[in-house]
Homo-oligomer: A and B are copies of this chain.
């Protein structure tokens, strides 16, 4: 694993045969916060409803087709985002082709916690997605004017730090099935908070995405799914939709 000679990349490449909506990006004026389904989850929640007009004034909206790229690793950071609908992945690529999916983004998630002047990850839409856009400068002004907003951002940044540190344990010390179990539990919980049921998980991402997120190969991920299924912990016909049959067992499989 020391600098692979031939980057055995079959699944990482940006797919020459373009995905559904490669580059399908549309920019719109902001539609308003009133009907926003993720307001209660997002940093915006730090502002009282009466003050959202200040946000709306600064915001725009982006719609991304599945497969489209929102931001490129290394590009100058000029905007921050809040996910409104859909799912995206945060990707980092090594010169030799190795790939890391640092995380999956869902409605309410904020993109822009970084001191770096350039994006540290490429952000790609997994499904059709919608995001609120704020020029960083506007966001800075808003923070100055509404300290509660900055408090909210700090709180969410801390939450993300907690979550990221939890991943460290997964990657450093857990076996394949444990990683997968932990991943499923995490996703299920996040989807539940967004209106999903507690007993299903939707996996719009591919096995390759999951593998690159858990530090495994697609084969090992697949085998781990099979193992959990054979144990009666999960069930599925569609590999993108998982039944959490035995949640306690799943938690146990995740190492508590």
Contact = CB atoms under 8 A, between A and B. Distances in A.
A65 interface: no
Contact of A154 (B98, B102, B153): B153
**What number of copies of this chain does the assembly contain?**
2
Contacts of A1: 174-176, 178
Given A147-B150, A157-B154, A158-B113, A212 B172 contact: yes
A62 interface: no
A94 interface: yes
Contact of A161 (B92, B157, B174, B215): B157
Dominant SS among interface residues on chain A: helix
A165 B255 contact: no
Interface of A: 1-3, 92, 94-96, 98-100, 102, 113-116, 120-121, 143-144, 147, 150-151, 153-155, 157-162, 164-165, 167-169, 171-178, 212-215, 255-256
